Structures are given as structure tokens and as C-alpha cells.
Amino acid sequence: MGRSLVGLVVLVRTVAASPTVAKVEPPDWPVEPNGITLRILVTGTGFAGARVRSGFATGPVKTFQSGTHLFVDVTIPKGVRAGKYPLTISTAAGSVEAPFAVVPALSLAGRFQGFSTDDVIYLIMPDRFANGDPSNDDPAVSRGLFDRSKSRYYHGGDFEGIIQHLPYLKDLGVTALWLTPIYDNNNRLNERERYDGQAITDYHGYGAVDYYAVDEHFGTLDKFRELVDKAHVAGIKIIQDQVANHTGPYHPWAKDPPTPTWFHGTEAEHTRNAFRIWTLPQGHSTPQTRSTTLDGWFIGLLPDLNQDDAECRRYLIQNTLWWIARTGIDGIRQDTLPYVPREFWRDWTAAIKRRYPKFNVVGEVFDSDPAIEAYFQGGRVRDGIDSGIDTLFDFPLNSVIRSVFTGGSKTIELPKMLAHDFLYPDPNRLVTFVDLHDMPRFMSGPNATVDGLERVFGLLMTARGIPLIYYGDEVAMRGGGDPDNRRDFPGGWKEDQQNAFEAASRSPEQQQVFEAVRRLAKLRVELEPLRRGSMVDLLVADDVYAFARVGARSSALVVLNNGPAEVKLHLSLAGSRIPEGASLKDALGNAPPTKAQGGFADVRVFARSTAIYH
């Protein structure tokens, strides 16, 4: 039988693939005494139309068109025991288990302490401080990123290196450590940012690709908890650096966000950050004006998280609570604070305080204008919102410190800047500093001297605020702009020719500064007014600044002579509460003893030095 072929029809049957699971966030949660409902984010494939079952009560499932992300509420009741409680994700094509666990809760005793004016903070970039475990220098998962000869590669510093040097830090007088971010970062070279024509790494920690993992170059979550616990035994608190404003450029979300509005814009089309934080107070600016600062991507590269997206907002708050609960840290340094809506900070800090009332946060507002800086500190309603942010870094005072001690400005500029303290809800809690990892080091500045650095610390340790030491400043480390300001601490590596952790190996210059910082930190412990007293200006002149720290039971008198000649002063003690007839001795040995007589003290302070009378 004949047949005419008109066409060929091919029938294709599309078979949906079973779902797969790549990641669960959070991966676990500590036992909660009153129970908790968590928002679980599962990343994988084939989640369209999925249902979720668990040993716990679950809420409705939320997925998006790509089917690669799934959100579901899981309620963990009170009294539940630690153990594995996987989620079963099912679709018409099959099912898969998503691992999840409930883990033992950490005791509240000795943890979640917060920090205060009683503390001296020490900033560590883990990769550049000390290499305690060479086995994690060049991990298999990220092979080839370790090279100490390259300033933007990993150098091998880690948690174990910090643990091994806790006695050094305690001896120095440090009571709190701020560590730059420990999130897992990119496991390959960053080709989008280049230095000296070469691709770089994210050794600094600010290029997160996983908010629930520790960078393998630093150690593990267990090792970090060990660091926290051992620091607490030594009387040292831990402040974790967190970043809620943006992710790293290589985070998987950049190409596949969990929701369509997870970021402001997309990898292909977004606004570049204008860094105009002066537009954020709602005076003359419009929402459109502010959006280029709140919604823009840093340097056009770092994906800007959208805290107005309900899922993103909840994820970030929950992630912070997870880090606190799982590690026992005492505080948070929040990166790039102004570039996130203050409504979010209000909700974020409230969530922290409900669970950990003593815990506190310091935010980074990189601006030298005290009016702009003060706008972001919590404790006062501004534009209808109290951000709840406990304190900030005192960048305005820092700008004047650098100008006075290396730029030739008169000492009078210090009290002139401090006169702006009325702008802040609580200026006493501001974190004061001379160096950070984002600026050239003081000792590499023009006209910088070791004596000048000593006077800087003389001011930081005696004026209002919480003083901070950037690692290496106590031994007068040099360093220009990034990354030169992040040099390895000498002696943190066994192959180093010098070990500045040990007095016998320090140069005379290094030992001079170290002893000065240690002596000042010890005085803060011995003299309560230096930590808790009110600050009263007694004399303000071009090169001399004298003030009292007035405590509940005693006072201390500080005289800073930044001039080239010895000064003799008939100093009024009005407002100092120093009693008539009190004998006053300089704890630093830079001025002869004196006595309070008739409401005055005759003081003589050596050139370019600080005296602390008590």
C-alpha cells in the first residue's frame, strides 16, 4: 500500500526533574527556651509547586519563577531536644530531604556582654595578625589564593593565631577584640577588581559569598567559638564585623537572587552609589536624591541588598541572631551603616535587644561632619525613627586628631570638635581611634613622630569615648593607603625575622610606644574617672589642652602639651571637684608633682607630652 509522506512529527515528552537541595539557611538553630518560628531559605532546583513537611509545624511555601529558591516558616516548639530534623520537599516529580538541625544553646553566663567605656577595643584583620595553623593557608577548595609576597592575597593569619596571642593582648590592656568579617569569601581570584594589574582576593572578608559559613582560611565555626570562649576566659570580649548593606560580587545571589527584589537592581543594570550621606537626613533632599546613596552598588560592583524586600529583611535579621546565638559574641561592628534605611536598623536592633539586652552595636559612618555623624546614633528620634544603633566610630574627632598631630593644626581644634558633643544622644559611647583598616596609618602620615603617636594615645585613653587600637599601632607600624595599611604583624609568622610580640625583639621605638599604650590602658583601669567621668575643659589654648575627668568619687586632671616648649600654667580647677589641698602627681612622669591651692594648681608640663594628675 502506497503512502505519501507529508511531514514528520516528533512528539517530545517533557519530564520534570525531581527537586534538589544545595543549601539550607539557617542550617541549624540553638534550642530556644520559649520556642521560635524561623524563616528557612532553601536553595536548589525544581521547587515550583513544592510542599514541605517537617517534624515541626510548617507554614505556606513561597517560591518564585526560577524554582531555585524556596521559603518556608518552621516553628520549633519549646522543650524540643537537640538533634537532626530534616525538611522533606516534595513536588509532582519527586521529593528530597533538606538537612536541618537543632543544636544545644549556649549558656548566657559570660556571653553576649556588650562593650562600654570600661573597654579598650583592639581591631584585628585575622588574615594579617598571626598564622597559628599553617594547614589552612592554602585550602583545597580555594587553592592558589595564598601568597605573602602579594599584598592583596591571603597571608595565612587565622583564629588559632589570635588564640595563641591572647596573653599578649591581655598584657597590653585590651578588653575587646573587633575582627573584620569572617564570612566565607570568594574561592577564586576576583577579576573584577584589580591591583597593580593583577586579580586580587577577598582576604579582608568584605566580599561575602555565604552568610552562614566561615572563611576556610581562618578556620571553622568551632574554632571561632573556641576563640570566643578563650577570649572570655582571658577577660576579653569579641565584636564581630557584619555587613548587611551588600554582598560580595561573586555571591551566587548576584546571578540568581532569592526574590526578584532581593537587590536594588541587577548585576546587569543597577545604580552606582553616590556616597552622599548628607542627603539622608530628610531636610531638603527628595526620595529620588536619597536613593542613589541608599540603593546604589558600592563602586558599581557590590550588590546592594534591598532591606525593603520582606524576605531579605527577615533573612538579615535572622542571620545576625544566628551568629550571636551560635558563637556567644558580645557585640557587632556594622559596616557601611548609612547606606541602609534607618527603619531597618530600628527593627534589627530591636530584635537583638529582645533576646540579648546587654548586647550592643557600633556602626561605621565614615564622615567627618559631627552633625551628619550624630544623625545615625540611636537614642533619639530623628525623622520619626530611632535607629537603636548604640554607638558610632568618632570619625569627626579622628579627622582633627590627624590634623593636629601630623598636619600642623593647633591643639585648640580638639576641644573645638569635642564642643559638638551636644549633637550626639550619647557622645561618651563613641569609639575613638587614630587608625583603621580603611585609612593610611598615622605613622606614615606627614610629620608623624613616635612622640606624636604617644600623645595621640594619651588623648584617646583619657578623653571621653571608648578607645580603639588598630593592630600594630602599639608598635608604631607604618602603612600607606590600602593595602599597605594592612601589613602583617611582625612576628605573627614563624619565618618572620622580627617578633614584635616579644619585648626582647622590639626596636627601641616599638618598645617605647608599646610601653606607653600599656601604661595608659592600665591607668584607665586604675582611675575610674578616665572611663566613666564627665569631661570638663579647664584650659584651651593653641598648643595646650587641659581637662578634668570628674567621677562619682574622684577626679583626674589631664594636660596635653603639643607645643615645642615646656609650659607653666596657673590652672583653675573650677568644676574639677579636685579637693583643696590635694596632692597631685603625674602618672606618666612628664610633669613634677603639684598641689591644689586656692582653687588653682601650678603645673609644669614638658614639651610635646601628656600629664595625667591624680
> Looking at residues 529-543, what average pLDDT do you find?
97
Tell me if 36 is assigned to some domain.
yes
**Do 25 and 163 share a structural domain?**
no
CA–CA distance, 350 with 514 (Å, rounded to integer): 40
**Do 77 and 174 share a structural domain?**
no
Q: Which domain holds residue 535?
A: 530-613
Three-class DSSP category at 339: helix
Tell me if 298 is assigned to some domain.
no
List, for residues 579-611, the tens digit of each pLDDT value: 999 999 999 999 999 999 999 999 999 999 999
Q: Name the one residue in this structure whose C-alpha cell is 599553617.
A: 134
What is the structure's pLDDT at 196?
86
Residue ending a domain, choose from 61, 76, 103? 103
C-alpha cell at position 56: 515541626
> Looking at residues 553-577, what average pLDDT do you find?
97
**Do 495 and 442 share a structural domain?**
yes
Does the pLDDT at position 141 exceed 50? yes
3-state helix, strand, coil in the chain (%, to 5): 25, 25, 45
> Looking at residues 482-499, what average pLDDT do you find?
97
Tell me if 109 is assigned to some domain.
no
Does the pLDDT at position 307 exceed 90? yes
What is the structure's pLDDT at 15?
52
What is the structure's pLDDT at 193?
86
Alpha helices in 248-368 (DSSP H): 287-294, 310-327, 342-355
C-alpha cell at position 205: 572578608
Q: What is the DSSP string of 219-249?
A: --HHHHHHHHHHHHHTT-EEEEEE--SB--T
| 400 half-sphere exposure, CB direction, 13 A CA radius | 20
Of residues 568, 566, 559, 603, the one with CA closest to residue 583: 603
Residue ending a domain, choose from 526, 543, 571? 526
List, for residues 342-357, the tens digit of each pLDDT value: 999 999 999 999 999 9
Does the pLDDT at position 283 exceed 90? no
Tell me if 546 is assigned to some domain.
yes
Fill in the DSSP letter of residue 302.
B
**Do 451 and 419 share a structural domain?**
yes
- CATH number of the CATH domain containing 587: 2.60.40.1180
Does the pLDDT at position 13 exceed 60? no
> Looking at residues 392-396, what average pLDDT do you find?
98
**Do 445 and 389 share a structural domain?**
yes
> Looking at residues 7-36, what average pLDDT do you find?
78
User: Which residues, other chains included, contact 65 with Cβ-Cβ below 8 Å and sequence gap of 6+?
Assistant: 48
Tell me if 474 is assigned to some domain.
yes
Tell me if 263 is assigned to some domain.
yes
Residue ending a domain, choose from 508, 526, 544? 526
What is the structure's pLDDT at 192?
87
**Do 491 and 594 share a structural domain?**
no
- Tally of structural domains, the chain: 3
**Do 536 and 506 share a structural domain?**
no
- CATH number of the CATH domain containing 30: 2.60.40.10
**Do 220 and 87 share a structural domain?**
no
List, for residues 197-224, the tens digit of each pLDDT value: 889 999 999 999 999 999 999 999 999 9
**Do 594 and 549 share a structural domain?**
yes
User: Which residues, other chains included, contact 231 with Cβ-Cβ below 8 Å and sequence gap of 6+?
Assistant: 166, 177, 237, 238
- CATH number of the CATH domain containing 310: 3.20.20.80
What is the structure's pLDDT at 269?
96
**Do 534 and 519 share a structural domain?**
no
Tell me if 248 is assigned to some domain.
yes
What is the structure's pLDDT at 282?
83
What is the structure's pLDDT at 12?
34
Tell me if 15 is assigned to some domain.
no
C-alpha cell at position 370: 559631627
Chain mean pLDDT for the chain: 95
CA–CA distance, 480 with 595 (Å, rounded to integer): 45
CB 461 within 8 A of CB 433: no
Does the pLDDT at position 127 exceed 50? yes
**Do 439 and 339 share a structural domain?**
yes
What is the structure's pLDDT at 329?
98
Of residues 426, 437, 520, the one with CA closest to residue 474: 520
CB atoms within 10 A of CB 292: 15
List, for residues 74-111, the tens digit of each pLDDT value: 999 999 999 999 999 999 999 999 999 999 999 999 99
Alpha helices in 497-600 (DSSP H): 508-526, 528-532
Does the pLDDT at position 10 exceed 70? no
What is the structure's pLDDT at 366?
97
CB 467 within 8 A of CB 429: no
Does the pLDDT at position 6 exceed 80? no
Of residues 597, 522, 581, 528, the one with CA closest to residue 556: 528
Q: Give the pTM.
A: 0.96
**Do 135 and 255 share a structural domain?**
yes
Q: What are phi and psi of 153, to 5 degrees?
A: -105, 170
> Looking at residues 251-260, what average pLDDT do you find?
97
C-alpha cell at position 259: 526574590
